Chains A and B, each alone.
Chain A
Amino acid sequence: MSAHIKILRQVLSKYSSPMTLNYPSGVNPDKKYSQIPEGLRGFIERDKEKCIGCRACYMVCSGRATKYFDVGDKRTIQVFHFRCTYCAHCEEGCPEEAIKMTKNFELTVTDRNDPKAYVNTELDMLTCKNCGKVFTPVKLEKRAFERLSDKINPRVKDVVIADFKKGEGYCMDCRRSRGVMMDAHTKKHVWLEVV
Chain B
Amino acid sequence: MDPLFTIISIILILPISLVLGVLYSFLIRKLNARFQWRVGPIIRMYSDLSPVIGSTRIWQPLYDILKLMGKDTVIPGSAHKKLFVYSPYMSLIFSILAIFFIPFPGMPLLSEIPYSLIIASYLIIASIMFTILGPVASGSPWGAIGARREAELFLVAELGFVVSLFSVAIAKNSLSIWTLASNMESLPAILLTLVAGTTMFVAMLGKLHIKPFDMPEAECEIVAGPYTEYSGKLLGTYFLSKVFILYAMVSLFIAIFLPPFSSGFIWLPLYAVAAVLLIFLLAVVQVLNPRYLIRKALLWYLKIVVPLAILSLIVAFAFVLGWMVV
Contacts and interface: CB of A to CB of B under 8 A. Distances in A.
Contact between chain A and chain B defined by CB under 8 Å: yes
A18 B34 CA distance: 7
Interface in A1-46: 4, 7-8, 11-12, 14-15, 18-20, 22
A15 B35 CA distance: 6
Interface string B18-39: 0000000000000001111111
A85 B288 CA distance: 41
B287 A18 contact: no
A4 B38 CA distance: 20
Contacts of A8: 284, 287-288
Contact of B35 (A11, A19, A20, A22): A11
B34 A22 contact: no
Contacts of B5: none
A18 B37 contact: yes
Interface residues of B, number: 11
Contacts of B46: 22
A18 B38 CA distance: 5
A15 B31 CA distance: 9
Contacts of A12: 35
Interface string A115-131: 00000000000000000
Contacts of B35: 11-12, 15
A22 B38 CA distance: 11
A11 B39 contact: no
Contacts of B39: 18, 20
Nearest to A4: B288
User: Which among A11, A19, A22 has the greatest number of chain B C-beta atoms within 10 A?
Assistant: A11
Contact of B37 (A4, A7, A19): A19
B19 to A, nearest CB: 26
Interface residues of A, number: 11
A173 to B, nearest CB: 62
B288 A11 contact: yes
Contacts of A15: 34-35
A79 B33 CA distance: 42
A15 B38 CA distance: 9
Contacts of B38: 18-20
B75 to A, nearest CB: 34
A29 B36 CA distance: 22
B31 to A, nearest CB: 9
A119 to B, nearest CB: 30
A18 B284 CA distance: 17
Nearest to B36: A11
Nearest to A13: B37
A11 B130 CA distance: 36
Interface in B1-51: 33-39, 46
Contacts of B37: 11, 14, 18-20
A12 B34 CA distance: 8
Contacts of A7: 288
A22 B42 CA distance: 12
Contacts of A22: 46
B46 to A, nearest CB: 7
A20 B36 CA distance: 10
B288 to A, nearest CB: 5
Contact of B287 (A11, A14, A19, A20): A11
Nearest to A15: B34
Interface in B267-326: 284, 287-288
A8 B35 CA distance: 8
Contacts of A4: 288
A102 to B, nearest CB: 24
A162 B125 CA distance: 102
Nearest to B289: A4
Nearest to A7: B288
A20 B37 CA distance: 7
A19 B39 CA distance: 8
Interface of A: 4, 7-8, 11-12, 14-15, 18-20, 22
Interface of B: 33-39, 46, 284, 287-288
25 contacts: A4-B288, A7-B288, A8-B284, A8-B287, A8-B288, A11-B35, A11-B36, A11-B37, A11-B287, A11-B288, A12-B35, A14-B37, A15-B34, A15-B35, A18-B33, A18-B34, A18-B37, A18-B38, A18-B39, A19-B37, A19-B38, A20-B37, A20-B38, A20-B39, A22-B46
Given A18-B38, A20-B37, 16 more contacts: A7-B288, A8-B288, A11-B35, A11-B36, A11-B288, A14-B37, A15-B34, A15-B35, A18-B33, A18-B34, A18-B37, A18-B39, A19-B37, A20-B38, A20-B39, A22-B46
What 6 pairs between A and B have smallest CB-CB spacing? Answer: A19-B37, A20-B39, A14-B37, A11-B35, A18-B39, A18-B37
